[in-house]
Amino acid sequence: MPEGPEIRLAADQIAKVIENQIIEDIEVGLAHLHSPAQKLKGEKVEEVETRGKAMLIHFCNGLSVYSHNQLYGVWKVVKRGTLPKTKRSLRLALHTKSNSALLYSASDIAVYERHDLVQHPFLSKIGPDILNKDLKWESVAERLLDKRFRNRSLSILYLDQHFIAGIGNYLRTEILYAAGIHPDFKPKQLSPQQLESLARQTLIIGKRAYATKGHTVPKALGEKLAKTKGSYESVRFMAFNREGLPCRDCVTPIVKAQRNGRRIYWCDLCQLTP
């Protein structure tokens, strides 16, 4: 599933071609969208934003398109009149005079009055966006110690969108690795220094993944790894998807396990168990 940084990157590309543009035509591939989509035809797009893993396209007439890619959804941006080669099902197409934003495979798509989004069953419950420029590490630390979250293992908490929106499986592994904290810890077990480290790394890793299009290794290491001509996965991460490979800091083999039904990775030496 695309995580917050990937959804924000997709939103950036979409915004380049449809923000402040008139949507001249719309195609939909889901029956429930046929009627509301007609209200968007001929309207100008005001803004494209993301909240966690959800994307919102706001129109000047007060309507908004909500979409969540879930596991299989993907956005494509093309010149109008062309289509990418894909076997995916087209769910939504927004056509300006010269470009098109196309959403494939997703099923969680709807049109809302913008003022009603505060009551959306997903958006109304999620925590602050990991890429929110106003989110500070102190706020993340406070949330870690909130009674709703303090007694939950970090491996579970860091997939809960109620805690911080936009964190998914690879970010969970990479944040905990960067903070040097084992995923089986609970926030209430952490020292003040560990809490600060974890809160800071939550934001650092999230912003790094956005800035580098999905890479979480530090800049200097990333530049070094780029020269090795390794696979895309082998140069992206510090721990995720590196089972059995040496830790980049201490050469202990990276461990893979299951937590909350999802794969997770850590270093047994750098991230000691509770």
Q: What digits encode the pLDDT tens for the residues 183-218?
A: 999 999 999 999 999 999 999 999 999 999 999 999
- Annotated active-site residue 27? The verdict is no
Active-site entry in 2, 5, 128, 183? 2
pLDDT above 90 (res 230): no
CA–CA separation, 120 vs 112, rounded Å? 9
Q: What is the mean pLDDT of residues 7-23?
A: 97
- Annotated active-site residue 3? The verdict is yes
Active-site entry in 8, 51, 53, 143? 53
Active-site entry in 44, 88, 262, 263? 262
Whole-model pTM?
0.92
> Where in the chain are the domains?
4-119, 137-267
Phi, psi of 261 (to 5 degrees): 75, 10
Task: For domain 137-267, give the fold.
Answer: Helicase, Ruva Protein; domain 3 (1.10.8)
- Annotated active-site residue 88? The verdict is no
Task: For domain 4-119, give the fold.
Answer: N-terminal domain of MutM-like DNA repair proteins (3.20.190)
Q: What b/e sequence results for 33-60 when a residue is b if at least 16 CB atoms lie within 10 Å of its CB, and e otherwise?
A: beeebeebeebebbebebbbbbbbbbbe
CA–CA separation, 162 vs 175, rounded Å? 17
Q: What digits encode the pLDDT tens for the residues 54-91?
A: 999 999 999 999 999 988 899 999 999 999 999 999 99
Q: What digits encode the pLDDT tens for the residues 99-136?
A: 999 999 999 999 999 999 989 989 999 999 999 999 99
pLDDT above 90 (res 226): no
- Annotated active-site residue 76? The verdict is no
